[in-house]
Structure 1
């Protein structure tokens, strides 16, 4: 399992940064290799990625979400194993720190080789910096302001 941790300061308010991150279907705009994210319900997203010529489809489940503070998720089912958390810290009225931590289990020879070369780490860090550019340019849309707690039963897929 590889752990990637990166933080970036964005020149937008805490609410704008958080609200933009909750727009999961816009992730392909700034995440390299992400072809599509479809939000299935408040907790679940379906992902289609193509990285290094390898196409994968998998689902993620949000296990903890607190508005303007954090979103924590994990993959469910499939052969893609990952989990992570993104945290938002108000620096002042117009600046926010966004900190992303991800645990990724590479599968297959190509992914294990990419991990050994540090490509997964660089990709995640690049995605976070592209998020900075995106949110500063586009601003945030109306975000999801609900609360998901660990252990809350979610809808069945």
Structure 2
């Protein structure tokens, strides 16, 4: 079952701070439920270990596009069918709207039930709320990735 989720949260930090923290993929387990580990394995690549409905999965994802202070788009390249984009919208000098769009294809009865019952949508909403708490209470990001990554010119999975 394929489903698209769209959620937003307003955070009380400027765009560069919100963006910088989101580029720290290794910190995702601190605020994302079910994300056990994320590690960078290359300039465009990350390796993920997640748990949904008691099912643990590992997969690699490729950053398809990255525009500093604007957006990050990615897609899984093995293990799961997933693609997403996070955008950062300046509300004023000190506030940012973080908008997440995630396209996910569930596999197996546990994940399908989690999607159908709204558990995955609620989890994503909770992740964004925890990101808000995390970024507003932890101060400046611990690091950042300011490099720009353009979409590949060859045929690739669609970027949302």
Q: TM-score range by the shorter chain?
A: over 0.9
How many pairs align?
A: 152
Contact 1:13-1:93 within 8 A present in 2 as well: yes
TM-score (norm 1): 0.94
Distance 1:41 1:24 in 2: 12
Matched, 1:40 2:41: yes
Q: Deviations over 1:62-82 (max 9, x none)?
A: 00000000000000012x111
**Structure 2 residue runs without a partner (length 5+):** 155-160
TM-score (norm 2): 0.92
Matched, 1:58 2:59: yes
Superposition RMSD in Å: 1.1
**What secondary structure sits across from 2:17 in the alignment?**
helix
The ranges of structure 1 where at least 4 consecutive aligned residues each deviate by more than 4 angstroms after the TM superposition are none
Matched, 1:90 2:90: yes
Offset, 1:49: 1.0
Q: How does 1:107-118 map to 2 (within 5 A)?
A: 107-118=107-118
Q: Deviations over 1:15-35 (max 9, x none)?
A: 000000000000000000111
Distance 2:78 2:48 in 1: 12
Offset, 1:152: 5.7
